[in-house]
């Protein structure tokens, strides 16, 4: 169709062109008879257009607008489906390259508030190429000039009217003028690196080494979001986007910046939750003669209430505990911290009786947080005698791994804490052989497999049985092997679900 004919000279854009986007030419071609492609964006028309009937000109103009809007819709739809900063930056780079007619590019994420995260993503550029570009003095590179000139995000309340001065509203006096939003700098186009004035010699040297002759840099910033970063697209030949392409990439860039700002807030929130969760758990495991400890704790995006503890007790004893609090997010983390701190106190006072420890914990939970439930397992270990006494409340049984056996500990069935008016279940005692490892874990390890409960237990048993003999002397290696076998893809931080805790204790 005429509306899909190329625009501008073929030499103005790098080749080869990127694939089409959803059936629409991703380079956003323009019809040859279009007078103006988008409101406020003029475009030169061939002299023969003056002889065309007005109806044809209007139809061509509408067809061009529809094509542009459809392309932007397709590209923004693809961008909005990304749920990570890395994925959004890569999608934005590819779509932007299609809009400006480039083949390569890079995006730099560098929030102005200095809170991070920072990253550099390349399109058609190897990691070494990105490092080479970063050797260009920051003041000479287009993205560096943009980043240094971009505004920070306004503080809360910025842009709103300030407090009225005395006399405001009286005749002859007016309210205080609102603050003006920070200005976002214009994109920077370098049509020919070889002839551009004011460039550092290193800039020209890097361009020659990487084989690009021109660039177009776009600030990733808006008045509301402030500075997030900048994107640069590289051309193989001297080139510069025409006015229409600049308008399209400007619209797309503003939308991409707002989307990146939302993802940045989410990622920072997840990082804060993960930090709080780690701070609520032991910073390091204790060293107790006769036993070696290792733990693996994987958290989900919302931050669950799974926890663990290893507490030295009098006379060389050791208290081991794992548990899970219902719910996710900050409230579950706070409840987890309170529950763990309470269990430590009860363990110091009456740790030799795990049933009494969990009974006290049940009473506390029922009185202070009646709407919440929790599972817990507490083990009182005497490493010198290789003796363990444990009790569980709605928790999965431990697993003993050794050279001659791999078996679950037979514990009595019990409801979770907070589910019964009065909780009490008998404790069990076991004696690990020298060199055996006892695995304590949370239900999240089983549920993250995606299998039914029976199948998940069977897979856990098989994973523990398959630990190489050379790794069985290291509790950390045992835990790593079990996790790799059960969750070969790891714990996807973008997938909602429970946390995973695996505590391994190897008795000498």
Per residue in 235-282, pLDDT (tens digit) is 999 999 999 999 999 999 999 999 999 999 988 887 887 777 777 888
Strand partners, 378: 321, 391
pLDDT at site 302: 64
What is d(CA 427, CA 319) in angstroms, rounded to the nearest whole number?
A: 14
Q: Which segments in the chain show pLDDT lower than 70?
A: 1-56, 149-182, 300-303, 420-424, 491-497
Q: What is the CB neighbour count within 10 angstroms for residue 458?
A: 12
Q: CA-CA distances (angstroms) from residue 445 to 101, 377, 440? A: 48, 15, 11
What is d(CA 401, CA 390) in angstroms, rounded to the nearest whole number?
A: 17
Which residues contact residue 132 at a Cβ distance below 8 angstroms, ignoring those fewer than 6 apart? 206, 209, 210
Q: CA-CA distances (angstroms) from residue 468 to 295, 328, 399, 405? A: 19, 36, 17, 14
Phi and psi angles of residue 71, each rounded to the nearest 5 degrees, phi first: -65, -45
pLDDT at site 495: 58
Contact 109, 118 (CB under 8 A): yes
pLDDT at site 313: 95
Q: CA-CA distances (angstroms) from residue 497 to 66, 283, 339, 444? A: 42, 24, 21, 8
Residue 89, SS3 per DSSP? helix
Burial of 322 (0-12, 13-18, 19+ CB in 10 A): buried
List the domain boundaries for the chain.
2-154+182-271, 282-507
Q: What is the pTM of this model?
A: 0.65
Give me 62's structure tokens. 């509408």
Contacts 24+ apart (CB under 8 A), 461-464: 461/399, 461/406, 461/407, 461/408, 464/399, 464/401, 464/406, 464/439
Give me 451's structure tokens. 């299998």
pLDDT at site 22: 37
Which residues contact residue 195 at a Cβ distance below 8 angstroms, ignoring those fewer than 6 apart? none
pLDDT at site 206: 94
Q: What is the CB neighbour count within 10 angstroms for residue 214?
A: 24
Query: What is the spatial order of strands in the sheet that 188-190 belongs to?
Result: 119-123, 104-109, 226-235, 214-222, 188-190
Measure CA of the first residue to CA of the last residue in the chain; give whole Å.
79
Q: Which fold has domain 2-154+182-271?
A: Beta-Lactamase (3.30.450)
pLDDT at site 248: 93
Contact 239, 12 (CB under 8 A): yes
Q: Which fold has domain 282-507?
A: Phosphatase 2c; domain 1 (3.60.40)
Strands (E) located in 247-364: 291-298, 304-313, 317-328
């Amino acid at each position: 169709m005429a509306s899909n004919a190329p625009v501008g000279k073929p030499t103005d854009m790098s080749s080869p062109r990127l694939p089409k986007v959803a059936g629409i030419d991703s380079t956003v071609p323009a019809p040859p008879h279009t007078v103006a492609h988008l409101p406020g964006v003029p475009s030169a028309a061939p002299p023969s257009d003056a002889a065309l009937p007005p109806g044809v000109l209007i139809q061509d103009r509408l067809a061009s607008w529809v094509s542009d809007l459809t392309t932007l819709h397709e590209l923004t739809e693809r961008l909005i489906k990304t749920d990570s900063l890395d994925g959004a930056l890569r999608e934005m780079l590819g779509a932007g390259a299609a809009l400006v007619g480039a083949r390569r590019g890079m995006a730099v994420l560098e929030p102005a508030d200095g809170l991070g995260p920072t990253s550099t993503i390349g399109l058609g550029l190897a990691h070494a190429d990105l490092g080479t570009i970063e050797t260009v003095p920051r003041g000479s590179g287009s993205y560096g000039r943009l980043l240094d000139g971009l505004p920070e995000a306004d503080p809360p309340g910025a842009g709103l009217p300030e407090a009225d001065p005395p006399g405001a509203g009286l005749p002859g006096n007016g309210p205080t003028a609102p603050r003006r939003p920070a200005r976002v700098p214009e994109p920077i186009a370098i049509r020919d690196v070889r002839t551009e004035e004011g460039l550092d010699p290193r800039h020209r040297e890097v361009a020659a080494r990487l084989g690009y002759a021109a660039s177009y840099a776009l600030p990733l910033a808006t008045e509301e979001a402030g500075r997030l970063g900048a994107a640069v697209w590289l051309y193989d030949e001297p080139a510069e986007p025409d006015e229409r392409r600049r308008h399209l990439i400007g619209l797309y860039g503003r939308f991409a910046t707002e989307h990146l700002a939302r993802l940045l807030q989410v990622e920072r929130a997840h990082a804060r939750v993960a930090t709080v969760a780690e701070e609520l758990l032991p910073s390091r495991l204790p060293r107790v003669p006769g036993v070696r400890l290792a733990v693996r704790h994987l958290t989900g995006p919302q931050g669950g209430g799974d926890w663990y503890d290893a507490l030295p007790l009098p006379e060389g004893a050791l208290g081991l505990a794992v548990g899970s609090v219902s719910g996710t997010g900050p409230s579950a983390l706070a409840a987890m911290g309170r529950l763990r701190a309470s269990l430590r106190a009860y363990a110091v006072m009456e740790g030799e009786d795990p049933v009494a420890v969990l009974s006290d914990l049940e009473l506390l939970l029922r009185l202070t947080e009646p709407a919440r439930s929790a599972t817990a397992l507490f083990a009182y270990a005497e490493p010198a005698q290789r003796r363990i006494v444990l009790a569980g409340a709605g928790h999965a049984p431990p697993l003993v791994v050794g050279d001659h056996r791999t078996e679950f500990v037979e514990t009595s069935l019990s409801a979770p804490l907070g589910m019964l008016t009065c909780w009490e279940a008998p404790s069990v005692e076991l004696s690990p052989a020298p060199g055996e490892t006892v695995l304590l874990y949370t239900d999240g390890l089983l549920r993250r497999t995606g299998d039914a409960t029976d199948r998940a237990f069977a897979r856990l048993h098989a994973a523990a049985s398959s630990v190489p003999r050379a790794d069985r002397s290291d509790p950390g290696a045992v835990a790593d092997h079990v996790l790799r076998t059960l969750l070969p893809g790891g714990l996807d931080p973008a997938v909602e679900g429970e946390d995973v805790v695996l505590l391994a204790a190897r008795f000498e």
